[in-house]
Structure 1
Amino acid sequence: MLSLKVTNETSRLRAVVLGTAISNGPVPLIEEAYDPKSIEHIKAGTYPLEADMVKEMEAVAEIFKKYNVKVFRPKLIEDYNQIFARDIAFVVGNKFIKANILPDREQELEALQDVINLIHPDHIITPPEEVHIEGGDVMLFNDHIFIGTYKGDDYSSHITARTNLEGVKFIKELFPDKIVKEFDLAKSNIEPRDNALHLDCCFQPVGRDKAIIYKDGFRDESDYLYLVDLFGASNLFHISRDEMYNMNSNIFSIDENVVISEVKFLRLNTWLRSKGVIVEEVPYAEISKQEGLLRCSTMPLIRD
């Protein structure tokens, strides 16, 4: 059995699910895309090639091997996108919480059944139907659980709004001993530079007390100021609109002092190293064309 344990984003990683780009399927039609960045690349004829994405994900798998992390991969579904493991489920404490994802993506969760079979049934949580929540919107910081949501009246018309207020309420009830703080995120169905698809597209803790943040990813300035107060202004690395678009906040921590980051994130990687963090660089720019990066394609199961 797997003894699940995840209480933050940065403790030493022991076991993780890494998605797969093998048999990723043909370039989707515009109406089949789930986010504005994918649509942008479909229109431009620059949608990523399977071979390139497979290479990028295998580079991550090699780093996990280097750090002796147990890696689980989803069972392969022919011609199906299974890259973003974080969307379909996530672990909080010792609970494996299934996401109520877009109906078209339910097979992705079924492809993890071999992993789910290793988890004690009492620790597997299936939210009720009215709860919308995806792992990219759920961020753990010890006593805190941060949740990205969208509070606009037009929630249902945004395919980019993935976690509703019912999802926030559900987590609050499930973890009454945690400080659950929701953040109202900027959403756009048409402009990826103004769309925080998930919370990890505009914010993520690194190390013990630092974080990467994009101020304009938050619709309400008080949400942004909450994080400034919590982390301290000098501990925050502010990214630009273009850096947000390129997914600079979506790196992945193996330990408090080890991260996997995209090789082109020069400014961020320099800052991380200046703070004593080991930066394992990988090419991941092709995968980022689908509005997801390293955190989106990984689902931690056990951290020390």
Structure 2
Amino acid sequence: MKNPINVTSEIGELQTVLLHQPGEELENLTPEFLDRLLFDDIPFLPIVQKEHDYFASVLRNRGIEVLYLTTLLTEALNTADVRKQFLKDILTESKIFGDASYDALYEYLSSFDTEQMIKKIASGVRKSEIDLSKRVHLYELLEDHYPFYLDPMPNLYFTRDPAASIGNGLTINRMREKARRRESLFMAYIIKYHPRFANEEIPIWFNRDFEHSLEGGDELVLNKETIAIGISSRTSAKAIEHFALNLFNGQNDFKRVVAVEIPKSRAFMHLDTVFTMVDYDKFTIHSGIQDTKGEMNIYILEKGTNGEILNITHKTNLLETLKEVLGLKEVVLIPCGGGDEITGPREQWNDGSNTLAIAPGVVVTYDRNFESNRLLRENGIEVIEVTSSEISRGRGGPRCMSMPLVRKEI
């Protein structure tokens, strides 16, 4: 079998990708709890699923193998002991400890077969699903209290964030927000127990037990020697340093990590919401991440002398930094929405910069970002548009919704 993880660029021909079709977790969103669950709106599930299926079909039609998160996890929980441990870890991660609530939830979730148990964990468990006689605490009996024993996981279809493929290894990430922290457990169990990965000795460059957060939307593999990572509202500088040290000490191919500071806001959640690679020398960018002089804070991290200290160089010009680290004479930055003061922010909000490259110069985008798509085409990029009326309400685009596992070398 070929290496089940191999990603050495953002643009190499995509061969295998991991998706999650949104499910009943979206039906458990209500206006009162949107902030808690990191959503701005309530998508209409039947249309979301149709749009996601269309996205998956576009990838398959290009010869890309599409795997599904819950299918892999179902296959990974292939013994009674592994299934029990996963359920215990989910409940512990959900801050449900060894009392009557834990026992009632454990018993309830254990009553499902493995596939349905995983779907129920993803969709959340309402208090009304548990027999009233098993609700022994006052907070469980109050009708006006929070309605869930186990929170739904509506962000699960953004498979890019909980784990990221780097070379032949992975980062299994510590998510910044509590609402998403359980998501990386899914990938941790898949890598450890699924037959496709379990015996392959896949290196883990960053693990979810680290105290500071790192998320996949901030991780971009620019080439075989260079990783870019956003210093964002979801990824911390300490996590980037920890990752860089592990990477440099664990392999010899990647030489540098380019840490790019972006404004810490909901609109600019991850680096890939404002900056993606679409060809050897072309990138999308939202101009709002640079100051009035076109500058920003960029730090190049390289291996130090003793394996415990990094050499750090400060830069301020993104264009010149990209030329330097990629060895290019020219680099083209394609502005989201053409850089227009109205169109730019509007299309960035709808993930106009969040492109998924499936080959050099070939990208998948949302159809609603017509100005950004026009500019990509004018710059020689083949643009494959996918429908996005409802799925875009989750505030994540084609790159957010996909975790590449294998790309061809470029």
| Residue 346 of structure 2 corresponds to residue 238 of structure 1 | no
CA pair 56-127 structure 1, distance change in 2 beyond 3 A:
same
| Equivalent residue number for residue 198 of structure 1 | 270
Q: Are 1:77 and 1:111, in contact at CA under 8 Å, matched by a contact in 2?
A: no
**Structure 2: how far apart are the matches of 1:26 and 1:149?**
32
For residue 183 of structure 1, the aligned residue among 260, 263, 274 is: 260
**Structure 1: how far apart are the matches of 2:236 and 2:182?**
22
Per-residue CA shift, 1:199-238, capped at 9, x if unaligned?
0111111111100111222579234853222258861111
| Residue 197 of structure 2 corresponds to residue 100 of structure 1 | no
- Which sections of structure 1, spanning at least 5 residues, go unmatched? 42-46, 151-160
Report how far residue 124 of structure 1 moved: 3.4
| Equivalent residue number for residue 141 of structure 1 | 222
1:46-125 alignment to 2 at 5 Å?
47-75=42-70, 76-78=118-120, 79=123, 80-81=153-154, 82-101=156-175, 102-112=177-187, 113-114=189-190, 117=194, 118-119=196-197, 120-125=200-205
3-state SS of 1:85 partner: coil
> In terms of Rg, which structure is larger?
2
CA pair 223-213 structure 1, distance change in 2 beyond 3 A:
farther
Per-residue CA shift, 1:110-133, capped at 9, x if unaligned?
444446522224423425422310
CA pair 166-62 structure 1, distance change in 2 beyond 3 A:
same
Report how far residue 249 of structure 1 moved: 0.7
**Structure 2: how far apart are the matches of 1:269 and 1:65?**
22
Relative contact order: is structure 1 or structure 2 higher (C-alpha 8 Å, sep ≥ 6)? 1
Q: Are 1:12 and 1:254, in contact at CA under 8 Å, matched by a contact in 2?
A: yes
**Structure 2: how far apart are the matches of 1:172 and 1:124?**
12
CA pair 268-170 structure 1, distance change in 2 beyond 3 A:
same
Q: Are 2:351 and 2:366, in contact at CA under 8 Å, matched by a contact in 1?
A: no
3-state SS of 1:249 partner: coil
Q: TM-score, length-normalised on structure 2? A: 0.63
- The residue type paired with residue 141 of structure 1 is L
Segment drifting more, 104-113 vs 203-212: 104-113
**Structure 2: how far apart are the matches of 1:293 and 1:254?**
14
**Structure 2: how far apart are the matches of 1:15 and 1:122?**
16
Segment drifting more, 12-21 vs 102-111: 102-111
| Equivalent residue number for residue 44 of structure 1 | none
| Residue 247 of structure 2 corresponds to residue 172 of structure 1 | no
Report how far residue 243 of structure 1 moved: 2.0
3-state SS of 2:160 partner: helix
Q: Are 2:168 and 2:202, in contact at CA under 8 Å, matched by a contact in 1?
A: no
Per-residue CA shift, 1:152-199, capped at 9, x if unaligned?
xxxxxxxxx2111111102221233422111222123xxx4xx31000
| Equivalent residue number for residue 226 of structure 1 | 317
Q: TM-score, length-normalised on structure 1? A: 0.84
- The residue type paired with residue 363 of structure 2 is V
| Residue 8 of structure 2 corresponds to residue 7 of structure 1 | yes
1:33-52 alignment to 2 at 5 Å?
33-34=37-38, 38-39=39-40, 41=41, 47-52=42-47
Report how far residue 272 of structure 1 moved: 2.1
Q: Are 2:347 and 2:372, in contact at CA under 8 Å, matched by a contact in 1?
A: no
**Structure 2: how far apart are the matches of 1:186 and 1:288?**
21
Report how far residue 49 of structure 1 moved: 1.1
User: RMSD of aligned C-alpha atoms?
Assistant: 2.3
- The residue type paired with residue 17 of structure 1 is L
Instruction: Indicate the percent of aligned positions where both proteins have the same amino acid.
Output: 26
**Structure 1: how far apart are the matches of 2:209 and 2:255?**
21
CA pair 218-20 structure 1, distance change in 2 beyond 3 A:
farther
| Residue 362 of structure 2 corresponds to residue 258 of structure 1 | yes
Segment drifting more, 225-234 vs 82-91: 225-234
**Structure 2: how far apart are the matches of 1:287 and 1:166?**
33
- Which sections of structure 2, spanning at least 5 residues, go unmatched? 71-117, 124-152, 249-253, 299-315, 324-328, 337-343
**Structure 2: how far apart are the matches of 1:96 and 1:272?**
30
Report how far residue 73 of structure 1 moved: 0.7
**Structure 2: how far apart are the matches of 1:32 and 1:185?**
23
Q: Are 2:15 and 2:64, in contact at CA under 8 Å, matched by a contact in 1?
A: yes
**Structure 1: how far apart are the matches of 2:222 and 2:20?**
24
- The residue type paired with residue 262 of structure 1 is Y
Q: Are 2:6 and 2:405, in contact at CA under 8 Å, matched by a contact in 1?
A: yes
| Residue 406 of structure 2 corresponds to residue 302 of structure 1 | yes
3-state SS of 1:236 partner: strand
1:17-36 alignment to 2 at 5 Å?
17-24=18-25, 25-28=27-30, 29-34=33-38
